[in-house]
Amino acid sequence: MRLLILTHQAMPRHLGGTEWLADRFARDAMGAGHEVRLLTHVSAGAKRSAWGLRRSCPDGIEMLELHSNAAFADDPARAEFDDPFAARGMEVLLQDFPAQAAVAFHGMKLSASVMQVLQMAGIPLIVVLTDFWFVCPNHSLLRWDDALCRGPLHALDCVRCVHRTHRFFDGLWQNLPEAEMWEDLRSRRRAGTLGPATLLELTALEDRPGFLMNVLNRAHAVVALTLFARDLMLERGVAPEKLRLLPHGPAMPEPQPHAQAAGSIPVILMVGPVSRLKGAHVIVAALKRIPGLSVEVHCFGNVPQNAFGESMREAAVADPRFQLKGLFPHEKFPELLANATALAAPALWYENGPLAVKSALTAGVPVLASSIGCFPELLEDGRHGLLIAPGDPIAWAEALKRAAAGTLPRQPKPQRPPEHWSREILNLIPPMAHD
């Protein structure tokens, strides 16, 4: 079978849960004898002569990179989810590689228009919901004011959020309280005094939910990785007969035995981008409340070149217990877990089955996790670790004290092997596509 895999970004340029999952699935599909191509996106500048498809073959996977940038499209707010340039790229790709089936791991950056092209060509499409982009333009369901969201009630709900992320809806109304900003935009629209760019942006936000739900409901199957994500997507309009709950496995081979030496300083492991979404600042605030505690927080991941990243670098200088470790080779992850007292996931957003947490559970490493989203279904409080109020430095300080005292439970929770998940996804593809 000729199988096309879609993902917003891919290894080796990027390393995250979605990227690892798409890479692993591609290799498992190739191992099962399928001919695989992987389509991903690479951000380009404003010069359109540099846009287009380029071939590469990193570590044995045939890859097509679509170089473009929706920010420089004629209608940037619509191109965020419905990009005509990406659609044309998919049409060109299918002429060269007439796929018999496709599996999409993320819609962001490529946009859902590439999925529309596949559906119009009659190619069965499996959509894997690795985060919440189909509901939220910022993909996180975390509002501009750090409040959790289950999706917009109306288009204006997203105005301030997309302004912070994409700079849409720039104007003096951004200085108003949110409700007054909404009323100002409504009244300007009724009066016909909205500028053309703002009118395009508002129209795009109004059209986005219906466009994306239509794409999902025309897919052959939509895969949710967690119960939380499944229930949310049912709320937002995905047809129940389309949804499949298929939790994925850990991002590691067999766990290594716990190797932390007796009497050594307890190590709390954090893995993933050092971002506000992931809650690194919550751990910093918790450490400030327990200045005498002998513990180290080893924070592995990219530190952004922005104000938040700079604040984390300053925190690491101010408190040597908070250590920014950068990236690490994937094969070293079992060793990191073996030497960890616990793994911390102080997320402020609804994580969606993070691979680091599943790997820690497999290895029997206690998990300290925010008590939101999928975490209550992944681990039992007091058995596999602790569920802690998100963003509460007092509660997180108490959890760190328990970890340092060695009183956390260390009960493994086996996960399904990743190759089993790949096989289940392949089994969703209708038999006619294999002919």
How high does pLDDT run on average in the chain? 93
Residue 262 has pLDDT above 70, yes or no: no
Give percent above pLDDT 70 in the chain. Answer: 97
Q: What interhelical angle do 159-166 and 178-191 show, nearest 10?
A: 90
For residues 329-353, give the mean pLDDT.
Answer: 92
Q: Is residue 213 part of a domain?
A: yes
Place of tokens 């290799």: 27
pLDDT at 414: 85
Q: Are residues 212 and 176 in the same domain?
A: no
Q: Is residue 144 part of a domain?
A: no
Q: How far is CA 42 from the centre of its chain?
A: 17
Q: In what order do the strands lie in the sheet with 385-388?
A: 322-326, 296-300, 267-271, 342-345, 367-370, 385-388
Q: Are residues 244 and 191 in the same domain?
A: no
pLDDT at 254: 61
- Residue-wise pLDDT tens digits, 386-431: 999 999 999 999 999 999 998 998 888 888 888 899 999 999 999 8
- Residue-wise pLDDT tens digits, 173-190: 999 999 999 999 999 999
Q: Are residues 320 and 395 in the same domain?
A: yes
pLDDT at 258: 64
pLDDT at 48: 92
pLDDT at 259: 63
- For residue 70, CA distances in Å to 48, 81, 239 come to 11, 9, 29
Q: Is residue 412 part of a domain?
A: no
Binned at pLDDT 50, 70 and 90, residue 13 comes out as confident
- Residue-wise pLDDT tens digits, 193-237: 999 999 999 999 999 999 999 999 999 999 999 999 999 999 999
**Pair 279, 353: CB distance under 8 Å:** no
The 3-class SS string of the chain reads CEEEEECCCCCCCCCCHHHHHHHHHHHHHHHCCCEEEEEEEEECCCCHHHCEEEEECHHHCCEEEEEECHHHCCCHHHHCCCCHHHHHHHHHHHHHCCCCEEEECCCCCCCCHHHHHHHHCCCCEEEEECCCCCCCCCCCCECCCCCECCCCCCHHHHHHHHHHHHCCCCCHHHHCCHHHHHHHHHHHHHHCCCCHHHHHHHHHHHHHHHHHHHHHHHCCEEEECCHHHHHHHHHHCCCCCCEEECCCCCCCCCCCCCCCCCCCCCEEEEECCCCCCCCHHHHHHHHHHCCCCCCEEEEECCCCCCHHHHHHHHHHHHCCCEEEEECCCHHHHHHHHHCCCEEEECCCCCCCCCHHHHHHHHHCCCEEEECCCCHHHHCCECCCEEEECCCCHHHHHHHHHHHHHCCCCCCCCCCCCHHHHHHHHHHHCCHHHHC
pLDDT at 409: 85
Q: Are residues 93 and 76 in the same domain?
A: yes
Tell me phi and psi for residue 335, to 5 degrees: -65, -40
pLDDT at 118: 98
Residue 253 has pLDDT above 90, yes or no: no
Show the domain range for 345: 267-405
Among candidate residues 399, 410, 262, the one with its CA nearest the CA of residue 337: 410
pLDDT at 93: 97
pLDDT at 21: 93
Joined together, the tokens standing for residue 30 give: 């190739």
pLDDT at 432: 74
Binned at pLDDT 50, 70 and 90, residue 136 comes out as very high
Q: Is residue 150 part of a domain?
A: no
Q: Are residues 385 and 430 in the same domain?
A: no
What's the structural domain count of the chain? 3
Q: Are residues 309 and 347 in the same domain?
A: yes
- Residue-wise pLDDT tens digits, 138-175: 999 999 999 999 999 999 999 999 999 999 999 999 99
Residue 260 has pLDDT above 70, yes or no: no
Binned at pLDDT 50, 70 and 90, residue 434 comes out as low
Residue 300 has pLDDT above 70, yes or no: yes
Lowest mean pLDDT among 33-42, 108-117, 281-290, 327-336: 327-336
Residue 257 has pLDDT above 80, yes or no: no
Q: Are residues 94 and 242 in the same domain?
A: yes
Q: Is residue 260 part of a domain?
A: no
pLDDT at 418: 86
Give percent above pLDDT 90 in the chain. Answer: 85
Q: How far is CA 155 from the centre of its chain?
A: 22
Q: Are residues 114 and 231 in the same domain?
A: yes
Q: Is residue 259 part of a domain?
A: no
Binned at pLDDT 50, 70 and 90, residue 261 comes out as low
Q: Are residues 104 and 234 in the same domain?
A: yes
Q: Are residues 221 and 90 in the same domain?
A: yes
Q: Is residue 87 part of a domain?
A: yes
CATH number at residue 44: 3.40.50.2000
Where a domain ends, among 178, 202, 226? 202
Q: Are residues 230 and 96 in the same domain?
A: yes
Q: Are residues 379 and 427 in the same domain?
A: no
**Pair 236, 213: CB distance under 8 Å:** yes
Q: How far apart are CA 193 and CA 431, in angstroms?
A: 55
Residue 99 has pLDDT above 70, yes or no: yes
Residue type, 156: L
Binned at pLDDT 50, 70 and 90, residue 132 comes out as very high
Q: Is residue 410 part of a domain?
A: no
pLDDT at 67: 97
